[in-house]
Amino acid sequence: MIGLDALRDPVNDALRAGRVAFRSGLLTPRRPDRPLRAAAALHHFGTTLGGESAAAAALYGNRAAVIDESRFVGYVSLHTRTNALAHGFVAQGITGGTTVGVVARNDHRFLELTIALAKLGAHVVLLNTSMSAPQLTDVSAREHIEVVIHDDELAPLVTAMSAQAIPISQIDELISSRTTAAPPRPERAGRIVILTSGTTGTPKGAQRTVSTPIGAALGMLDAIPYRGGEPMLIAAPLFHSWGFSHVTIALALGSPIVLQRRFEPEAVLAAIERHEVAVLVAVPVMLHRLIELPADVRARYDLSGLRLVPLSGSAIPAGLAERFMDAYGDIVYNLYGSTEAGVVTVAAPADLRAAPGTAGRAPGGIEVHILDDAGKPVAPGATGRIVVRSPLVFDGYTDGDTKPAVDGAMQTGDTGHLDDRGRLFVDGRDDDMVVSGGENVYPREVEDLLAAHPGVEEAAVVGVPDTEFGTRLAAYVVRRSSATDLDENTLREHVRTHLARYKVPRDVTFVDSLPRNATGKVVKHHLR
């Protein structure tokens, strides 16, 4: 016989899942035909972004789906427009299995084109709009991008890519001339590839399926109490996993998605008031810029409806969460994770108040462990490697590589410790990676570029604390004897012309020599 103890956990888990599903609005009384039509849509398109949008149209009808600075699109309209766009893409030679790069900022067309491509079973590579032209060209070749869809103003960046280019301004034209009937069911689901950085600093493609296992999804909804139908302003870039993941959350919950092409602090406050936004999805540097607005500017806008501010992308600078919550209430939730690992832990407002700097606790369905170099668990308070066991981990890099694992649990690449209440604290990186303003930067890439300058003998780059970005880059440079006139601005411009803006060192210090150990390696902690 099965004892009561064996039954208790499954029963409690089921009750908890039901409570979370009802609270969030995933389960709610509906006309019986709507869930049936949603199920049919998921059967046709699969549990992809295309299937989610089609199911959302069945469930939520003409409720607002996307609101940006130029257009309002309802859920039914989003479904029919993306059907038409899928047919338009076929006329452009895009079919299931075609690899399409997208380099575009946040607006309704970004969503429409990614949904339409999912309906075809095309593979989508989301490209960072801050990347330089040489980086985009290199990534395009490595990821075998056949078509690139781009913001019109970014056209000069994609001219060297050996791919068919489609300006995003052509989206409406492709939609207007096509049928709104659903395209045929794709033979197989397409991949979503989001760029991250490898250990050499070269951007790597991390691929994953769009759908989220139901248990992990409910765990996230339990850790961060989203509610169906509440407007969600996604300020984080949609080409990042943090921003893009909230598209899938919003579609599942029938939440209007509010988008702005560029982050402007006061414009964000105005949009929160205008659209009665309840959820602001951001990275810490955005929160810093909001709270740094003059008090009289912030006072102009009514943010009383703002209920959740989920953050991710980088460490929260000391005191930032408390300052924001002192002004707007205990509404900040800090998520620790990565493109590869997905969600690892979430710090609720109570955690951030009680233990500033914590990354929080693992949601239901996810396990976090701290291991020593031998792969054994360490005691609470001791620092070790952070590993995660989760159904949300990525499917591997597009080059066939993956993250190291220990007994099936993936290493995040970070070191950290757990306190006596099970809260995680991230202490640093296994390597030298710097996260600045939500962007991952490997110093080696910047060092090599600086060293390539004719006036530079050698250079070292480290991350140093920054109150706005969490961490900023600081470069230490040894001039060549013939380059006495070389200055900081010249080197910053040298980096800016070759790499993304966030990889430009804020600090450049000229030194006579770099500190090295007996084996000749630079001792970077002396520089810090």
Please give the full DSSP string across 225-287, using - where no structure is assigned: ---TT--EEE-S-TTSHHHHHHHHHHHHHTPPEE--SS--HHHHHHHHHHTT--EEEB-HHHH
Total Cβ atoms within 10 A of residue 146: 18
**Residue 246: inside a domain:** no
CA 30 → CA 23, 56, 79, 203, distances in Å?
15, 13, 20, 45
SS3 assignment for 75-86: HHHHHHHHHHHH
**Residue 125: inside a domain:** no
**Residue 468: inside a domain:** yes
Question: Total domain count for the chain?
Answer: 1
Tens digits of residue pLDDT in 416-475: 899 999 999 887 666 666 777 888 777 777 888 898 899 998 888 988 888 888 888 999
**Residue 446: inside a domain:** yes
Tens digits of residue pLDDT in 125-159: 999 888 889 989 999 999 999 999 999 999 999 99
**Residue 522: inside a domain:** yes
State the Cα–Cα distance between residues 391 and 81, nearest whole angstrom.
Answer: 32
Bridge pairing between strands 470-479 and 456-466: antiparallel
Give the predicted TM-score (pTM) of the model: 0.81
Per-residue pLDDT of the chain (528 residues; tens, 9 = 90+): 344 444 445 666 666 667 777 777 776 777 888 889 999 998 999 888 999 999 999 999 999 999 999 899 999 999 999 999 999 999 999 999 999 999 999 999 999 999 999 999 999 999 988 888 998 999 999 999 999 999 999 999 999 898 999 999 999 999 997 899 999 999 988 888 888 744 334 566 766 665 555 555 677 788 899 999 999 999 999 998 889 989 999 999 999 999 999 999 999 999 999 999 999 999 888 898 899 899 999 999 999 999 999 998 777 766 789 999 999 999 999 999 877 777 889 999 999 999 988 999 988 778 899 998 888 899 988 888 898 887 766 666 666 666 666 777 788 888 889 999 999 988 766 666 677 788 877 777 788 889 889 999 888 898 888 888 888 899 999 898 888 899 999 999 999 999 988 999 999 999 998 887 544 467 787 887
State the Cα–Cα distance between residues 331 and 352, nearest whole angstrom.
Answer: 10
Six-digit token pair at 295? 């008090």
First to last CA, the chain: 62
- In terms of residue numbers, what domain contains 458? 434-527
**Residue 460: inside a domain:** yes
Q: How confident is the model at residue 416, as a pLDDT?
A: 86
Element (H, E) at 60: helix 49-60
**Sign of the C-alpha dihedral computed for residues 115, 119, 122 and 123 taken in this order:** positive
**Residue 503: inside a domain:** yes
Six-digit token pair at 353? 């108040």
State the Cα–Cα distance between residues 510 and 520, nearest whole angstrom.
Answer: 20
- Residue 479: CATH number of its domain: 3.30.300.30
**Residue 151: inside a domain:** no
